[in-house]
Amino acid sequence: MPLRFRPDLDRIEAYRPGRAIGEVAASYGLDRVIKLASNESPEPPFPEVTAAIARAVSGLNRYPDNARPELVQALARFHGVPAERIWTGSASNELMLITGLTMTAPGTSAVFAWPSFSLYEIATRAGFGKDLPVPLDADHRHDLAAMRAAVRPDTTIVYVCNPNNPTSTHVAGDELEQFIDSLPKDVLVVVDEAYADFATASDFRSMLPLAATRDNVMVTRTFSKVYALAGLRVGYAVTAPESIAAFRRIQLPFSVNALGEAAAIEALRHQDRVRQRVASNAAGIARLTTALRAAGVAVADSQANFVYAGFGVRAAELTEGLLRVGYIVRPVPPQGWLRITAGTEEEIEGFLEALRGLL
Ligand SMILES: Cc1ncc(COP(=O)(O)O)c(C=O)c1O
């Protein structure tokens, strides 16, 4: 007799990560593979962070403190928000899933842009809610008016990814704040700021100050991107203490591990290094955007650490051709578009050279 999995499971498409370096190297017989597919930092963690991780190893026989008081205090000081409004987790993916499981149920719905980060759909469907995807506008940006119109009486969550993955575009701070103001106060607005550290546009504004004061706003952040700690899985959110208490009913204990906590606390102390990396990312994005546009490729205006580029009918063939010479890029929706992470200067030049060969 077959096992009785929940009957709606077919509606949930498993998260599809970018292809792994080792697997591509083995499949294509390559010595060197450059991954530009998962929006990771092309640089290793800061040296002080590596040292902090090494120091924390000897304490691994103990469970970490479930409240992570040091990390919470460090984040509270860093952002100037009350410690009781900070919620930590095993990177922002976990926070998103737990939020979905806590806030959705049969008879509820969640609104988010499409294409956007796939976790919003997974979290909604895992919570038995109805997903209400709203197409981006012609400039690949969130269409906030259409998203407002999509909100129904049964909507409990609205997700805004700013800057948006996979399109790299942002919505202006004033526009986003007006949108948040326009929503019913019993709808939780989750502003996913995984890429906010990279945004340099003058009209970009983090919604952290709103999350620090309004109970229906949550901002999620991660150590996976600019802090170069994707492998350790540390993220956090700022929102109402009552919501955090609700989320913790479902969240696994100790979901930030001891090494992750030590690394994150140390990483926050090195904002000079963060600024350097943001600057080199901006240079890489400018180089990729200019070079691709010069080659006739449509590229969205990026405020993130990746570009969204339209290659039309050639996208699949180019993805394959790039793999054969050791560059992994990410096909993203809709068909014909690729997402390319800004690697190091050398990696970007190598990628552009390889692409020119194929074009
Ligand atoms: C928009 C967005 N949010 C959240 C995440 C999740 O990152 P993490 O779980 O590593 O914090 C990602 C990862 O790529 C992302 O693109």
Q: Residue 161: is it exposed, middle or buried by C-beta count within 10 angstroms (0-12/13-18/19+)?
A: buried
Domain positions in the chain are: 9-45+272-358, 47-268
The residue type at 53: I
Instruction: Give 88's pLDDT tier (boundaries 50, 70, 90).
Output: very high
Residue with tokens 């400039």: 139
The residues near 199 (Cβ < 8 Å, ≥ 6 apart) are 163, 170, 303, 304
Task: In whole angstroms, give the CA distance from residue 46 to residue 49.
Answer: 5
CB 218, CB 22: distance < 8 Å: no
The model's pLDDT over 200-217, given as tens digits with 9 standing for 90+, comes to 999 999 999 999 999 999
> What CATH architecture is 47-268?
3-Layer(aba) Sandwich (3.40)
Instruction: Give 357's pLDDT tier (boundaries 50, 70, 90).
Output: very high
pLDDT at 86: 98
pLDDT at 17: 84
pLDDT at 257: 96
Residue with tokens 């083995």: 26
Task: In whole angstroms, give the CA distance from residue 4 to residue 274.
Answer: 48
In this structure, the residue with its CA closest to atom 12 of ligand 1 is: 194
The model's pLDDT over 11-46, given as tens digits with 9 standing for 90+, comes to 998 888 888 999 999 999 999 999 999 999 999 999
pLDDT at 67: 86
Whole-structure pTM value: 0.97
| Residue 261 CB–ligand 1 contact under 6 Å | no
Class of domain 9-45+272-358: alpha beta
What average pLDDT does the segment 124-128 reach? Answer: 95
Ligand 1 mutation target, pool 165, 229, 302, most atoms within 8 A of CB: 165
Instruction: Give 66's pLDDT tier (boundaries 50, 70, 90).
Output: confident
CB 280, CB 332: distance < 8 Å: no
User: Which is the closest atom of ligand 1 to the Cα of 166?
Assistant: 16
Ligand 1 mutation target, pool 35, 161, 224, 226, most atoms within 8 A of CB: 224
Residue with tokens 């919470």: 72
Instruction: Give 269's pLDDT tier (boundaries 50, 70, 90).
Output: very high
- DSSP state at residue 337: E
The residue type at 350: G
Interval between CA 255 and ligand 1 midpoint (Å) = 16
| Residue 264 CB–ligand 1 contact under 6 Å | no
Ligand 1 mutation target, pool 119, 169, 219, most atoms within 8 A of CB: 119
What average pLDDT does the segment 74-92 reach? Answer: 97
Asked, colleague to colleague, whether 9-45+272-358 and 47-268 share their fold, the answer is: no
| Residue 160 CB–ligand 1 contact under 6 Å | no
Interval between CA 37 and ligand 1 midpoint (Å) = 13
User: Which is the closest atom of ligand 1 to the Cα of 230?
Assistant: 10
Give CA 262 to chain center in angstroms: 22
Q: Is the pLDDT of residue 61 over 90?
A: yes
- How much of the chain is in helix, strand and coil states, percent to nearest 5? 45, 15, 40
Q: Is the pLDDT of residue 302 over 90?
A: yes
Task: In whole angstroms, give the CA distance from residue 331 to residue 92.
Answer: 22
pLDDT at 209: 98
The residue type at 1: M
What average pLDDT does the segment 250-267 reach? Answer: 96
